[in-house]
């Protein structure tokens, strides 16, 4: 049996570990042949592929990024269909011509939506949830998230010394797209005093009061962790906006840091390596059992799978009853 594998959407730590998990299981355990597809769905449009062998897989476990390359190609996007070029049909045809029994799609929400549409067309697809945002519905965690949280937490730790030395407010902006998972987990792990999430509305005056109250209690500096997706005036970067608004409200010097793509770079941590390995192996098992149209997922300690039709188009967002929000509030942390 010959299978294809592609990586689509934003890169993150752990993609190569997933590729390794899929391919080593497929080659060693099931005797499959694996075709690596370059640059996500674009590679299927262009039949830009390579055969993956054991030697292609060495040194992948702790390598950041994706050896296959990625793109944000969305074949079902209306503008694509409007050009008269039927990209989905071309891709389905190329999958047949390449002799692929199934394609493993590693990607975020956009990829899961595309995978579900191909599954509806009768193309054999199995998908693996991938994103640092952790906003894919149906899985407790996606690989990439824990490493991004570790990177952001380390950055927040480093801000405490400069904030206390200068008696400043330090605002750090973390990624997460429309979800606040990275801000919540790194903000709590990094000892944030104020944590702003897209899911919880904030009032800059209340934030100012929190910071002033800290000064009155003899804590002349504060750490503010903000998710990139929170509401602002839309004219400035989130961190710049919040820092300037806080300085205006409190009169305390405030500075901003935008952590950016560092959260997506470098080697995955051990949790993400093992999660990626487990999900990759499980995806191959689904193919061996000819269970197509499904996404692997983490539920508690178990790797399960869900129909893509149940996952596509849904976002998993932070809720106010999340344990970290409840616990943080009890400890006096301001969520806006």
CA distances 319 to 17, 187, 201, 325, 331, Å, are 30, 16, 12, 8, 18
Q: Give the residue with the Cβ less far from ligand F6P, 168 or 264.
A: 264
DSSP annotation string for 170-194? EEEEE--TT--HHHHHHHHHTT-SE
Least distance CB 135 / ligand F6P (angstroms)? 8
Q: Using the minimum distance from each CB to ligand F6P, give the nearer residue, 211 or 276.
A: 276
Using CB under 6 A as the binding rule, whether residue 108 contacts ligand F6P is answered as: yes
Least separation, in Å, of the C-beta of 222 and ligand F6P?
A: 25
Q: For residue 143, give every residue at least 6 positions away whose Cβ sits within 8 Å of its Cβ, in sequence order, or none.
A: 12, 13, 14, 15, 17, 18, 129, 130, 268, 272, 275, 276, 279
Binding mask of the shown chain, residues 220 to 249, with x at each position contacting ligand F6P by CB under 6 A = --------x---------------------
Question: How far is it, in rounded angstroms, from Cα 61 to Cα 270?
Answer: 10
Q: Is 73 in the site for ligand F6P (CB under 6 A)?
A: no
Specify the residue, 228 or 285, whose C-beta has the smaller distance to ligand F6P.
228
User: Would you state the torsion angle of the CA atoms of residues 203, 174, 105, 14, taken in this order, to the nearest 10 degrees?
Assistant: -140
Choice between 191 and 265, CB closer to ligand F6P: 265
Contacts of 270 by beta carbon, 8 Å cutoff, 6+ apart: none
Within 315-334, the residues that bind ligand F6P by CB under 6 A are none
Q: Tokens 């301001």 appear where?
A: 334
Q: What is the 3-state composition of the chain as percent helix, strand, coil, each rounded to the nearest 5?
A: 45, 20, 40
CA end-to-end span of the chain: 54
Chain residues 9-38 in contact with ligand F6P, contact rule CB under 6 A: 10
Residues 250-269 that bind ligand F6P (CB under 6 A): 264
Residue 327 class from Cβ within 10 Å (0-12 exposed, 13-18 middle, 19+ buried)?
Answer: exposed
Catalytic residues, by residue number, are 133
Cα–Cα dist 23/4, whole Å: 10
Per the CB < 8 A criterion, the answer to whether 39 and 69 are in contact is yes
- Residue nearest ligand F6P, Cβ-based: 175
Cβ nearer to ligand F6P, comparing 74 with 264 = 264
Q: Where are the alpha helices (DSSP H) in the chain?
A: 15-24, 30, 41-45, 78-82, 87-97, 109-120, 145-166, 181-189, 204-216, 238-250, 270-288, 308-311, 323-330
Question: What's phi and psi for 3, nearest 5 deg?
Answer: -125, 160
Task: Please say which residue, 127 or 131, places its beta carbon nearer to ligand F6P.
Answer: 131
Residue 267 burial (C-beta neighbours within 10 Å; 0-12, 13-18, 19+): middle
> Of 106 and 175, which CB lies nearer to ligand F6P in the complex structure?
175
For ligand F6P, the binding residues in 122-181 under the rule CB under 6 A are 131-133, 175-177
| Residues of this chain that bind ligand F6P (CB under 6 A) | 10, 108, 131-133, 175-177, 228, 264
């Amino acid at each position: 049996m010959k299978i294809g594998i592609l990586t689509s959407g934003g890169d993150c730590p752990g993609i190569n570990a997933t590729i390794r998990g899929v391919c080593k299981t497929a080659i060693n355990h099931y005797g499959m042949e694996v075709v690596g597809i370059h640059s996500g769905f674009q590679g299927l449009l262009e039949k830009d592929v390579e055969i993956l062998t054991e030697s292609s897989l060495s040194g992948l476990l702790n390598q950041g990024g994706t050896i296959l390359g990625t793109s944000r190609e969305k074949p079902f996007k209306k503008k694509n269909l409007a050009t008269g070029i039927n990209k989905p049909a071309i891709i389905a045809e190329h999958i047949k011509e390449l002799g692929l029994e199934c394609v493993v799609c590693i990607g975020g929400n956009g990829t899961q939506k595309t995978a579900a549409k191909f599954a509806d067309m009768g193309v054999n697809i199995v998908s693996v949830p991938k994103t640092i945002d952790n906003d894919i519905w149906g899985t407790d965690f996606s690989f990439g998230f824990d490493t991004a949280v570790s990177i952001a937490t380390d950055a927040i730790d480093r801000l405490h010394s400069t904030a206390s030395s200068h008696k400043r407010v330090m605002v750090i902006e973390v990624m997460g797209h429309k979800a606040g998972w990275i801000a919540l987990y790194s903000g709590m792990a990094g000892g944030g005093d104020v944590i702003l999430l897209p899911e919880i509305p904030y009032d800059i005056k209340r934030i100012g009061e929190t910071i002033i109250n800290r000064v009155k209690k003899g804590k002349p500096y504060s750490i503010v962790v903000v998710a990139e997706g929170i509401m602002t005036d839309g004219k400035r970067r989130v961190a710049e906006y919040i820092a300037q608004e806080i300085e205006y409200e409190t009169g305390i010097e405030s500075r901003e840091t935008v952590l950016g793509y560092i959260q997506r770079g470098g080697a995955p941590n051990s949790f993400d390596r093992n999660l990626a390995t487990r999900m990759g192996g499980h995806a191959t098992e689904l193919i061996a059992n000819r269970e197509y149209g499904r996404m692997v997922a983490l539920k508690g300690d178990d790797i399960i799978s869900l129909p893509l039709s149940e996952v596509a188009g849904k976002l998993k967002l932070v809720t106010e009853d999340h344990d970290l929000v409840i616990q943080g509030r009890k400890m006096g942390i301001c969520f806006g």
